[in-house]
Structure 1
Amino acid sequence: MEWIARLNEAVSYMENNLDKEISYERAARIACCSTFHFIRMFTFIAGIPLSEYVRRRRLTLAAFDIQRGDGKIVDIALRYGYESPTAFNRAFHVVHGMSPSEARRAGVVLKAHPRMIFSMAITGGAEMQYRIEKKESFTIVGVGQHFSVKMEECFEEVPKFWQRTIQSGEIPRIMEYLDREPQGLLGVCGNMEGDDFDYFIAVASTRKAGDSFVEYRIPASTWAIFECIGPMPHAIQDLQRRIITEWLPISGYEYSNAPDIEVYFAGDQQANDYRCEVWLPVTRKSD
């Protein structure tokens, strides 16, 4: 499929530049999405962070070069992006369980991490309820935090931000601003660029933010809105993974340049029947 083909083209670009500088921005353009969404999609589909995949592939090729005697170890380290021999030795040992100099010996056992090639597979089978809706722009009011973390760390750091906000007693004050749709407490991921993004805990409002709160404008967009049922945060994290790996490749849609939104309704978030929504910004694929 076209979506998978573009993702494989982006991987080919990275594979062809493992011994050079790799631009995630360029890879994202090849995949026809933002850098943030490219890193996110890769991590969900591949099951490992993009940065870790690149690191393993480089150290696989470095091991081949070392065993072939293809240059000094310091030169091989530089070839694959390690300016410090110490950093190269440490990274090499993590992947291969030995130092680069030990890898020169005949008969040693090294690890090879092959290139990834993505293809469609029949998975899941569990239904996902969703609807496509166009929404006008609206403003949210609440608290926000800037994150600059790897995608896999988001699953730990964002819940911590929620916990701090709940413990601070800010949630009831934020809810006082709620006066328009969507009628729930929102988790909004915006200003996304690479590993950097802003996350807001907020509500939709027509009121001006008070001194302790911030405002953020959600642009007009088309959204794929998914129902999520189950205890937080695991239910919503699992749904987000399924949306990326199961729904998006076959949907006829692709990511658009707008924030990701989570809508949390009143209720016990640890209950098995707790209900919330995931809003994915989408646009129809061009023919």
Structure 2
Amino acid sequence: MLHELNHVIDYIEDHLTNDLPLESISAYAGVSDYHFRKIFFYIAGIKLSEYIRNRRLSEANKELLNGEKVTDVAFKYGYDSLDGFTKAFKKWSGFLPSDVIKTGVSKYFPKLSFVINVKGGLSMDVRIEEKPAFNFVGVTKRVPMQFEGVNNEIVKLVESITDAQMEEMHSLQNIEPYEVVNVSYDADANFLKEEGDLTHLVGVLTTSNQLSDQLEKLSVAACTWAIFPNEGPFPSTLQDTMARTYSEWFPTSNYEVIEAPSFSFTKMDEHKADYAYSEVWIPVRKR
């Protein structure tokens, strides 16, 4: 996958002045659009669309320094109007295109290159399981997107669960893992930015469709799951594992992410403060 990513970067470089639909990039990489965008974000730390925009503006900056006209540069790099280019350039760089010509001020955004970064002493345990179709059932809430630390809105959601809701969840639970799980889905920006909201469900897995109106249901089709167990300080170990699955495991595996909800569960250690065993379940298919 890293080899493919570097080929894709070269492909993007060759097409910076052309129309470049994001779907065509993932097609060139030979993987699904959803998988490619998610892997790219976790490895590069930037959305694919944002990377392309930044590279175009960086090259535009270079051409302005070489004396090209603002209008010519704007249209060359895909902007329909001079005003649109000027606004985008100023938002990216902090100065106007005309400032580049007048004063020689510049900003540079380099072409990416991906390499395997092997971290000594760190390994990832993973197992692959097939699972029939099932439902998540539980309580839900729209919460702010947050990649690090404790999400206080999720804490409030957990604290709001009534005894009656918990009793019904446990009565419906009939498929492994027999744990209370956390599911995040329906995110603004499709999880690719730490902003906006997502829907978070706290609940259980079941094959039953018979539930009261005090619980919500999210159906999941039969698929393959990559499961990543982890143990350590909570929540940092869990969050680090989730990030490493995308930045380290997927790029070197024969699997790709499919567009379905991933989930996790956590079992807090009774004898160690803020210490837990967790599992991250991600829906996948072979590439």
TM-score by length of 2: 0.77
What does the per-residue CA deviation read over 1:115-160, in whole Å, with 9 as the maximum and x for residues that have no partner? 112233333531222222222221111245679x9xxx55279946
Task: State the AA in 2 paired with 1:166.
Answer: V
Task: Give the structure 1 partner of residue 136 of structure 2.
Answer: 140
8 Å Cα contact 1:256-1:283 kept in structure 2: yes
2: CA distance between counterparts of 1:273 and 1:158?
14
8 Å Cα contact 2:226-2:284 kept in structure 1: yes
What does the per-residue CA deviation read over 1:40-73, in whole Å, with 9 as the maximum and x for residues that have no partner? 21121113333332232121011122223333x2
Q: Secondary structure at the match of 1:104?
A: helix
What does the per-residue CA deviation read over 1:137-189, in whole Å, with 9 as the maximum and x for residues that have no partner? 21111245679x9xxx5527994652452354469725631322222222334
Matches of residues 36-115 of structure 1 in structure 2 within 5 Å?
36-71=34-69, 73-83=70-80, 85=82, 88-105=85-102, 108-115=104-111
Q: Secondary structure at the match of 1:48?
A: coil
1: CA distance between counterparts of 2:31 and 2:154?
28
Q: Does 1:219 align with 2:221?
A: yes
Q: Does 1:166 align with 2:158?
A: yes
Give the count of matched residue pairs: 276
Task: Give the structure 2 partner of residue 188 of structure 1.
Answer: 183
Task: State the AA in 1 paired with 2:123.
Answer: E
2: CA distance between counterparts of 1:110 and 1:56?
13
Point out the more displaced range, 27-36 or 217-226. Answer: 27-36
CA pair 52-139 structure 1, distance change in 2 beyond 3 A: same
Task: Give the structure 2 partner of residue 247 of structure 1.
Answer: 249
2: CA distance between counterparts of 1:91 and 1:121?
33
2: CA distance between counterparts of 1:208 and 1:277?
27
Task: State the AA in 2 paired with 1:141.
Answer: V
8 Å Cα contact 1:184-1:203 kept in structure 2: yes
Q: Secondary structure at the match of 1:211?
A: coil
Root-mean-square deviation (CA, aligned residues, Å) is 3.5
Task: Give the structure 2 partner of residue 234 of structure 1.
Answer: 236
2: CA distance between counterparts of 1:168 and 1:81?
50
What does the per-residue CA deviation read over 1:220-276, in whole Å, with 9 as the maximum and x for residues that have no partner? 2222211122344432221112122222233343334543221233667x9442111
Task: Give the structure 2 partner of residue 26 of structure 1.
Answer: 24
8 Å Cα contact 2:55-2:109 kept in structure 1: yes
TM-score by length of 1: 0.77
Over the matched positions of the two proteins, sequence identity in percent amounts to: 32
Q: Give 4+ residue runs of structure 1 displaced > 6 Å after superposition.
A: 191-194
Unmatched tracts of structure 2, length 5 or more: 192-197
Unmatched tracts of structure 1, length 5 or more: none
2: CA distance between counterparts of 1:119 and 1:10?
14
